[in-house]
Amino acid sequence: MHLDSPDTPADPDAQRQRDKQRLSNALKASIAFVLLLGIMFGVQGMIDWRFLSVQPGAWAGLTGLLTAPLLHGSPAHLIANASALLILGTLALAVYPRATVRGLPLMWLGSGLGAWLLGDPGSHHLGASGVTHGLMFLVFVLGLLRRDRPSIAAGMIAFLFYGGMLLTILPQEPGVSWQSHMGGALGGILAAVLFRRADPLPPRRRYSWEIEEEEAERAARERHDTFEPPAPDEVPVLWTPPREQRGVVLSFPRRDAGGDAADDGSPEARRD
């Protein structure tokens, strides 16, 4: 596997400050979303929240595509999703801020669509676990597609903490919406494929042999030279042999019986 080596930035101190700022912004955004989930969980105790959940097969249940990830069934359910959102959300926003923001609607709606299409009629699906699965698959797949060091490191961290999500997209435990898990995971994979180039790659260190190959190719283009011999009709003619007159009879001296050349009057036949 080809693993790019990041080049040393021109200003390491400034780059370090930008990385810290991006990590801080990612953590703040994740904490803000978790606080919103906590507020919504408090509001749930005051209202009938069932109309805000995803109800499979019911047209009225499509409202839950927008609101179901904000609801949770119990404090344990909320804590489990909040911890995953803090880790995966911070990791995704810190490494892929543009891809994460653009892919979040796909993961959000994918979670609800998976539950609405595949869920059992009469059931109610709620919770942000579909979004957490989408974030995990987003980070993991981007690491496979981009293959630079930050992407590989982020994918390994996501798999280390939440690699079990590869199994929870299938039926495992009664009462757990694996349908929303699968929908969110598919949304994360789709976002990774569509937005894999949304965030710029870090500057890559170029090796000496790569520089030599580029210089050789550039010199070849300037000379219009190639490694393959040109066609015969493309080879320039540098020398043409003179045309000789053909059909001329050359005279040779006759020899007598004694073996001496006979004098036929030509200068070549005379001997001193």
Q: 75: domain range?
A: 12-194
pLDDT of 246 above 70 = no
CA 194 to chain centroid, in Å, comes to 9
Return mean pLDDT, the chain.
83
Q: Which residues pair with 204 in a beta bridge?
A: 6
Distance CA 110, CA 103 (A): 10
- 67 band by pLDDT with thresholds 50, 70 and 90: very high
Tokens of 58: 């019911």
Inside any domain, residue 257: no
The answer to the question of residue 7 being in a domain is no
Flag whether 223 is in a domain: no
pLDDT at 271 over 50: no
Cα–Cα distances (Å) from 15 to 12, 108, 229, 232, 270, in that order, read 5, 32, 49, 57, 101
CATH code for the domain of 135:
1.20.1540.10
At residue 239, what is the residue type? W
Say if 150 falls within a structural domain. yes
Query: Residue 270 domain-assigned?
Result: no
Give dist(CA 173, CA 134) in Å, integer.
Answer: 20
209 assigned to some structural domain: no
Q: Which residues are registered as beta bridge partners of 255?
A: 261
Is residue 266 one of the residues assigned to a domain? no
pLDDT bin (cut points 50, 70, 90) of residue 41 is very high
Per-residue pLDDT, 104: 95
In this prediction, what percent of the chain has a pLDDT beyond 70?
Answer: 77
What domain count does the chain have?
1
Greatest mean pLDDT range, 1-10, 59-68, 209-218, 249-258: 59-68
pLDDT at 227: 56
- With bands split at pLDDT 50, 70 and 90, how would you rate the model's confidence at 32? very high
Taking the CA atoms of residue 244, residue 247, residue 252 and residue 256 in that order, the dihedral angle to the nearest 10 degrees is 170
Q: How confident is the model at residue 11 (pLDDT cuts 50, 70, 90)?
A: low
Residue 181 lies in a domain: yes
What CA–CA distance (Å, rounded) separates 132 from 151? 18
Is residue 224 within 8 Å of 26, Cβ to Cβ? no
pLDDT band at 250 (very low <50, low <70, confident <90, very high): low
Q: Is the dihedral of CA 129, 131, 134, 138 positive or negative?
A: negative
Cβ atoms of 128 and 108 closer than 8 Å: no
Q: Is a pLDDT exceeding 80 seen at residue 254?
A: no
Q: Is residue 7 within 8 Å of residue 152, measured between CB atoms?
A: no
pTM above 0.85, yes or no: no
